[in-house]
Structure 1
Amino acid sequence: MLSVHTSPLHQPGTGDAGGMNVYMVQLSRALAELGVEVDLFTRCRGEARPRWADLGPGIRLRHLEAGPRAPLPKEDMPALVVPFSLALLKEERRYDLVHSHYWLSGQAGRIAAVGWRVPLVHTAHTLARVKNAALADGDTPEPPSRIRGEHQVVGSADRLIANSGDEARALRELYGADAGRTEIVRPGVDLRTFVPGRGRAAARAALGLPVDAFVPLYAGRIQPLKGPDVMVRAVAELLREAPELRRRTIVPVVGGNSGAGPRGDAWELARELGVSDVLRHFPPVPPAELARWYRAADVLMVPSRSESFGLVALEAQACGTPVLASAVGGLPTAVRDGLTGMLVHGNDPVEYARWLRWFAEHPQAGAVMGRAAVGHARSMSWQTAAARTLDVYRDVLCAERSGPGMNEAGATARSCLADASLLEGREGRNSTLAALLS
């Protein structure tokens, strides 16, 4: 598995780390339980780590030298794809297939698959065309270079794994993906960590929250795409419509800023709207502590403008907490509207505020939703996701060996590099890889 721009070990909710990091670690662990050996490759940012780090039985992590030994913004990463690929191809171990995550890793995956003459499976996690169609006011659109790169990866991969039917549709309609090479595999949830536990009162006592407070939780990166401004405006509208709730409302915001930039306008907006007193900011926390925050909340807010799946929604439900989320991307799959939570169409803070007030005034109904949410989440384990992913792996390997089922683009690229001399010498490798990426 490849992840160029972020390490699977990075804390979700910080920088560029999020659901994809959780996805890679948890999927690898579940695959290893099925007997699959998994090596994860990421870029070295200066971490003092051994050549190979064991993440558990059958799972190893390798930091490759590519570019400076320092954190870099995602915008600088495309220039490091070729150096990362060169370092990858120096590895002596050979693999049955390559599974890349995010478009930058997909570009490196194209090269690795050609060099090792193995199939490429790719999971996009986010898509530039989808993100650009749902930008917040003033947010920076994804560049054309990323869109071109995504088209290249979609055209080259032997199989594409989509997190939801919505993502599969976007791959087909916006990127021309072949439906026969696109598989839907729903992510899972760690059912050993995210459990109801001893309940809400115990979680609040551990976190120092009043037992009788109304606690809508926001957990995730603080970036425009995730809708923190919608959350702030919704809280302001709630307190305007029901001022009596101010004295008992606490809104924990558990997460860090996205990328290397500032936290954004959410905190300034909270000051302008007069709700800073009810917002409480907490840094990203490890899974066990995050589960405590979920258990302490009356409802989790996920007001994203775009969301590939929304793992936080599934984690909260596994802890017995209903979800108030946008009806975008994979969230309608993660949340059963009206049964385990409520879905809002659009980004209207007034609509979010209406449902927040409903949760505040109907705690028993929210508790019923929470109990239903636990059962829903338990049907979506990482073990189920791994078994389905392994089916995709086996299918693509069978097609590779039989010949006719192979992706024509991948087969042509691999045949172009059949002569091992193309990979001999640094200059030869650089020119070959540059040609492939073009």
Structure 2
Amino acid sequence: MQYVPHGAIPDTRGFAPAIVAQELALHLPGYKHVLVSAREGLQARASWNQWPVYRFESSRLYTRVFWKWFRFNPWPLERRLAAIARKVRPDILHVHQLEFDVASFRKWLGWNLPCVVHAHVRTQRPQAIPANAYIAVSGYVRKELVDKGFDPHLVHVIHNGVNPEVFHAADVPQKMALRLALGLPVDRPIIFFFGRKQHVKGYDICLNVIEQLSAEEYRPLMVTIGPLPPGTERELGYAERQLQCDRLIQCGALLDLPARPHAELAQYLAAADMVLLPTRHEPQGMVVLEAMAMGCAVLAGATGGVLESITDDVNGGLLSADAPLEHWVSAVRYWLQNPAHRQRLGAAAAQTVKQQFEWQHAADKLDRLYQTLLKC
């Protein structure tokens, strides 16, 4: 049973834990899957890929009364999940939330169901009652968890993957056709950013880079796709960044778009000349892998799990997010002016993903972990 407490299956907004859960299920055909996720506007109980999907939703009134007024939750997610587990009787529970309360869940359930907790982040400390296994999405996350006190024997590394049927390289005629279909210019270089439009993802760096380059004769276009999560407006410099964004849109240097479905995202990636992802923190970087799979030249922040997929000047480029803006501008300018350099990096990136980061690689590792736990 796969459980994603804060995202919907099938994914509707590019939420990494939901994507990971559904892709792993798709690539483990030997199991009968039951999926549990948030509702997010989808029907209360349905199915996906012929598997049952149970959906949670807390009404605004429930949240206001119990969380905001009384600071008490009489029907916590662990209790609701236990009620479902008693019905379906799974052999193993796979939770995509590091802070999941294993002890509380087992108390409500009534027996010690084997639990696997997928660590998409590394900010939580270990609980008194641990899960049977933890999955870190990178060696970087594993080290952070172990440093926080997690049992190193319980923490396994399984990198996120890429679906090659969706994310694959396009040739030049396909690229131009996609630009026409998407309403993008065919006579200007295009820089692509996708992800959350927040400081931690380096969105401000992207805006500053295109502002510096917008007056140059080849007139590059920055295309940004992704959500603006709640609370972003409280970030330092948010108002100035929005004004900057408006200026860049008005002068034709920026196309700023909301989050897109995965298939459409792949089309935009295929139309790009390069991808700029100057993240300041990244547990692994699924967006990095997806861009690499498309054969894109990716210039990324040298941080966290990104270092486990990109080798500088071999299959992409790396810069510290704290590097002076001039370094980012100079690197992007050089890449745009040297297509052979971009093509070399992009081809090597696609090969790296094919050899190491397709979803079947991750599913095979997970299958071995499941089988080990089921034999215990």
Deviation digits for residues 374-411 of structure 1 (CA, Å, limit 9, x no counterpart): 2112121111111101111122233xx3xxxxxxxxxx
Alignment partner, residue 125 of structure 1: 120
1:290 CA displacement: 0.6
Q: In structure 1, how many angstroms separate the alpha carbons of the residues matched to 2:63 and 2:183?
A: 35
Question: Which structure 2 residues correspond to residues 374-389 of structure 1 after superposition, within 5 A?
Answer: 374-379=350-355, 380-389=357-366
Percent of residue pairs bearing the same amino acid type: 26
Give the partner amino acid of 2:223: P
1:225 CA displacement: 1.6
Deviation digits for residues 133-179 of structure 1 (CA, Å, limit 9, x no counterpart): xxxxxxxxxxxxxx4xx4328x6121111111111110111x11111
Q: 1:267 to 1:219 in 2, by over 3 A?
A: farther
1:207 CA displacement: 1.6
Contact 1:222 1:263 (8 Å CA) reproduced: no
Confirm or deny that 1:102 pairs with 2:97.
yes
1:318 CA displacement: 1.3
Confirm or deny that 1:390 pairs with 2:367.
yes
Alignment partner, residue 150 of structure 2: 177
What are the ranges of 5 or more consecutive residues in structure 2 without an aligned counterpart? none
Confirm or deny that 1:85 pairs with 2:78.
yes
Q: In structure 2, how many angstroms separate the alpha carbons of the residues matched to 1:188 and 1:371?
A: 18
Contact 1:232 1:266 (8 Å CA) reproduced: no
Give the partner amino acid of 2:194: A
Alignment partner, residue 190 of structure 2: 215
The equivalent position to 1:307 in structure 2, one of 282, 289, 294, is: 282
Give the partner amino acid of 1:354: S
Contact 2:222 2:255 (8 Å CA) reproduced: yes
Contact 2:44 2:56 (8 Å CA) reproduced: no
Deviation digits for residues 309-364 of structure 1 (CA, Å, limit 9, x no counterpart): 11111111111111111111111123232122101123323222121111111112
Q: In structure 1, how many angstroms separate the alpha carbons of the residues matched to 2:24 and 2:205?
A: 32
Q: 1:340 to 1:110 in 2, by over 3 A?
A: farther
Three-state SS of the structure 1 residue aligned to 2:140 is: helix
Contact 2:202 2:278 (8 Å CA) reproduced: yes
Q: CA RMSD in A?
A: 2.7
The equivalent position to 2:34 in structure 1, one of 26, 29, 39, is: 39
The equivalent position to 1:268 in structure 2, one of 214, 235, 240, is: 240
Contact 1:221 1:257 (8 Å CA) reproduced: yes
Alignment partner, residue 48 of structure 2: 55
Contact 2:233 2:239 (8 Å CA) reproduced: no
Contact 2:297 2:316 (8 Å CA) reproduced: yes
Give the partner amino acid of 2:54: R
Q: 1:201 to 1:80 in 2, by over 3 A?
A: farther
Deviation digits for residues 36-70 of structure 1 (CA, Å, limit 9, x no counterpart): 1222212445x35152x22214x332113555489
Contact 1:11 1:284 (8 Å CA) reproduced: no
Q: In structure 2, how many angstroms separate the alpha carbons of the residues matched to 1:81 and 1:4?
A: 17
Q: In structure 2, how many angstroms separate the alpha carbons of the residues matched to 1:81 and 1:370?
A: 52
Contact 1:230 1:347 (8 Å CA) reproduced: no
Alignment partner, residue 223 of structure 2: 252
The equivalent position to 2:104 in structure 1, one of 100, 103, 111, is: 111
Alignment partner, residue 6 of structure 2: 5
Give the partner amino acid of 1:252: V
Q: 1:329 to 1:281 in 2, by over 3 A?
A: same
Contact 1:66 1:83 (8 Å CA) reproduced: no
Three-state SS of the structure 2 residue aligned to 1:90 is: helix
Q: In structure 1, how many angstroms separate the alpha carbons of the residues matched to 2:119 and 2:330?
A: 34
Contact 2:134 2:154 (8 Å CA) reproduced: yes
Contact 1:66 1:87 (8 Å CA) reproduced: no
Q: In structure 1, how many angstroms separate the alpha carbons of the residues matched to 2:350 and 2:328?
A: 23
Higher helix share: 1
Three-state SS of the structure 1 residue aligned to 2:292 is: helix
What are the ranges of 5 or more consecutive residues in structure 1 without an aligned counterpart? 129-146, 402-438
TM-score using structure 2 length: 0.86
Contact 1:113 1:119 (8 Å CA) reproduced: no
Alignment partner, residue 64 of structure 1: 56
Q: 1:103 to 1:64 in 2, by over 3 A?
A: same
Confirm or deny that 1:361 pairs with 2:337.
yes
TM-score using structure 1 length: 0.75
Alignment partner, residue 415 of structure 1: none
Contact 1:5 1:42 (8 Å CA) reproduced: yes
Q: 1:337 to 1:70 in 2, by over 3 A?
A: farther
Alignment partner, residue 426 of structure 1: none
Alignment partner, residue 347 of structure 1: 322
Which structure exhibits the higher relative contact order, with contacts defined as CA atoms closer than 8 Å and separated by 6 or more residues?
1
1:113 CA displacement: 4.2
Confirm or deny that 1:189 pairs with 2:162.
yes
Contact 1:219 1:254 (8 Å CA) reproduced: yes
Three-state SS of the structure 2 residue aligned to 1:281 is: strand
